[in-house]
Every structure is written in C-alpha cells, then in structure tokens.
Structure 1
Amino acid sequence: MGKLRSKNMNYKGLVIHCQQNGGLICLTDMWKAAGSVKSQELDKWLIQKRICERLLELVLEAKLELKPVVERTFAEQPVANSGSKKYRAWASQVRKLAKDVGLISTRGGIGGGTYAIDKIAIEYAESLSTEFRDWARNAVKERIEEEVDPELGIRRSRQRAIKNWEKQGKSSQYIGARLNSIPKEDFYEAALYEHGVKVPNDFAWCKAEVYKPIIGRTKDFREARGLKKGQNCKDAMTMEELAATDFAKVLSAKRINTLNPYGADICARISHHAGKEVAHLLNQ
C-alpha cells in the first residue's frame, strides 16, 4: 500500500491531528487552536454530568449489547460534584467505557492527546470560542462527507490550492505545473513507503536528497527565496526547477521499485543519485 495522505485539519495554521485508523479527531489540538483557555480544558469538560450522560448514550449507540452495563452505570451516578471523589471515579468509569468501544482514545508523542469521534468533537467545539465552533462545524462536516466520497476531498483540495496560488499571483502555466506535480509526488512517496520509509522525518530527508543536486540544500534555498515557515519549497521554484525535481522524483521511484531496497538510508542515496543525474542534464 502507498503512503496514507494526512487527513489532519488546519485552523489558522494550527494542525488538528486526526487518526488515520478510525478517523478520531484530537480534542487536545482543538483546545489549543481555540486559545488554550484554562476554563475550557478537556478534563473539565469531560467530567461534566451532561457530557458523561452523552458519552453513555454514544456507548449504547456503538454497542447495543452493552445496554445492561450502560443502564447500571446510569443508575450508579452519584450527585454531580466534580470535586467529589466518588463522582470523579464514576466519571472515569464512563470515560473508560467510551474508550473500550472506540469513542475516545489517548496517545503520546507528536500529535499526542485525547482523540474522539466526530460527534464528540463537534460537541466539544460547542464549548469553545464562537469563531472556532463555527469553523469546526463546517470542517468536521466536510471531513465526514469526504470519508463517504474520497473524490470530493480531492476536488475540494484542488480548488483550495488553485485559489491560494491565484492569490499569490501565480500564472495559469505555473498552477498547471503544480497540479501535474501531485501524481509524481504521490508516485515517489508511495515507492518510499513501500520500501521502509514510514515516518515524516525520513520522507523529508529523502526528498531533500532529491532536491539537493538541483536547488541546493533546502534550508539555504528557503532562506534565499524568502520562504516562510510551513511553505512548500515548490512555492519558490521556477518552472525549470519544478520540472527537474518532478523528473528526479519519478526517476528515484522507478529505481527504488526496481532495486527493491529497504529503509530510509538507501532510499535517500538512490534519491540523491537520481537528482544528480537530472542536474547534470540541466547543466549540459
């Protein structure tokens, strides 16, 4: 299988991570994106009586066979007092039930935090800032639609990209070249993924090795062309550089698929060698 494209959402440049397996949305990222207001912290929200009851309803929707457990948990609900040890223990029990059926999960590392299904994510967004809430409603709705019809997501992404390039004053010729570049990038990334390149840093390393003989070190290129943090190197490439790096990626992918290496180290070396060959052709 090829590298899975990220399904993360973006709010004003801040990433809201989404799990590729299960489609859960990071509530921790939502809280940060909405301003990290202490009174709106996730733990304070999840312990509320209304939210605990809603979680139990969703547990029942997810697994009807848990009806006796859900009914018993409802019946055992103590007087709602978040400071009460007994109430907090009950709320933890509710959260565990939600985790057991896949409504909520936690993970560490990059993109770590508490994740939840879209219904819970939308409800949490309702408790955050008005601006963020309105954005989240639309973003999550679009995400659900795109899970049903993946092609819709591709069309929307393409339309957004074209609008952004037009705002940057890019020519129709340039925009066409960038759109044509996408399948070549996918072909290259799929080859890397199939041959042991699995993490973002290793993808970036291999790509930098393709670029190096053609545009130099990516760090130097970004500084020389005035690229801001988060901008793609392609945003500052000439038509010739775009064509050359695309060709180098396709050449790299074909060789990786033919030679069948495994791991980022050897894939990076193959990528660099392909970049050198293309750079040599340009300089003849």
Structure 2
Amino acid sequence: MKTSISSLSFNDTPIRDREQMLCLTDMWKAAGSPRNKKPAEWSRYEGSDFIREIGEKVGTAHLFENRPGRGGGTWAHWQIGMAYAKYLSPAFHAWCNEVVRAYMEGTPPPSPQDTRWLAVRQESRAMRNDFTSTLAEHGVTKPRDFARATNATYVGLFGASAGRMRERMGLPKKANLRDRMSRMELAQVILAEELATEHMEDERSWGADECCDVTAMAARSVHQAVSDNRASRRRIGR
C-alpha cells in the first residue's frame, strides 16, 4: 500500500495516510505527544473494545497494524483514528472531526484560509468548555445564568447580546453565532473567556452576578485593546 504525504497537518506536524488508514503515531505527535497516551497503550486498554467493534463493521484486513523501522509507526483505519483523536484531546478531536473526516471521505480539502479558521474555531470550542466548566465550579448552575455570561462576553466585545447579533446577521434564533464569526472575532472571544476564567479562579468569584461581572470586565478589556490597536494603525498610516 502506498503511503501519501497528505495535506493533513496539525500544529505543523504532518499526519500520514495510506488508503483508508492513518498513522496514529503521527496523530500522537501532532497532539503534543501526551504522556501515557501512546497508540499502543490506547489500543491495549481504552480503545480495545472500539477497535473490535469497528473490525466487525468495516470487515477489512487493514484495520490496525504496527510497522517497524523508518517511516513506520502504528497505523489504523481512519475511523479508529477518529476515536483515538478524541482520547488525545478535545481540540485535536474537533479538528479531526472537521478536517480529517472530510479528507478521508473524499471531500475536497479546505483552503488554507478555511483551515486557519477551523483551527481557531476548534480552539474556541475547547475554551468554551473550560469557561463553562469554570462557571459551574463557581456557583453558576442555571441555564439562564450561563446565557447571561455569554451575553456579557458579546456585549463587552461587540456591543450586542447574542440575540441581537443573530438579528443583525439574519440568523435563526438557535443558530450558533461562533460558526459565523471571523477568525478575529473568534480570537477575541477566546481571549475574553480565558481572561474571565483566570479571574474567576484567582479571585474565587462566586455566583452568577460576580461571574458575569468578571466576564463583562474581561470582554471590555479585550475590546479596548483591539480598538486601541486599530486606532494606532490609522494614526501611523496618516
């Protein structure tokens, strides 16, 4: 079977593919080489049941193999690779779900610009999970209060609540705004939620009111930094 140098790359680490198989060793390296999460360990324990299940469904001899020597590594059917990606990290799994799956299913690969957007979007998902987990750890329990925190971010950054932003964009009420944001907008949201998370943990904020105030403060700080930078560009260009 011919191994291709594919267009798949995460964190500047190429991920080789061969027909319907992916190199799990490359995936492990791309995800940062996390300790105790090497392909062999995963396949022996956490991934063993899934590998057997896929074997029954796919019915192919080329399911999972270890190839020694230069250019070798652990290789597996790409559906096994997707399960392994989930084990490695949420951000890497999100990227694989959008980029690797499309590539292996024969969908045209995204343009470099799309790939950069996808990378930021995936990071925003991971940050959102951290942010909401921190809110929950600091006494935010009601759905409406999570929505308040989200709106605190959007109002601080963009001057409008989530509902108002959807109206401006002509989107349905339940549309995911972040799927429509630019890379710069997503980057601002990531930084605002990161700052808010850090603040809540450092100051031991508690309850919806405190956490929403902290979130609004972080979002305004990011908005001000972006505004100042853009204003300075205009002055320099004159």
After TM superposition, the score normalised by the length of structure 2 is 0.50
Q: Which structure is richer in relative contact order (CA contacts within 8 A, separation 6 or more)?
A: 1
Q: Provide the TM-score with structure 1 as the length reference.
A: 0.42
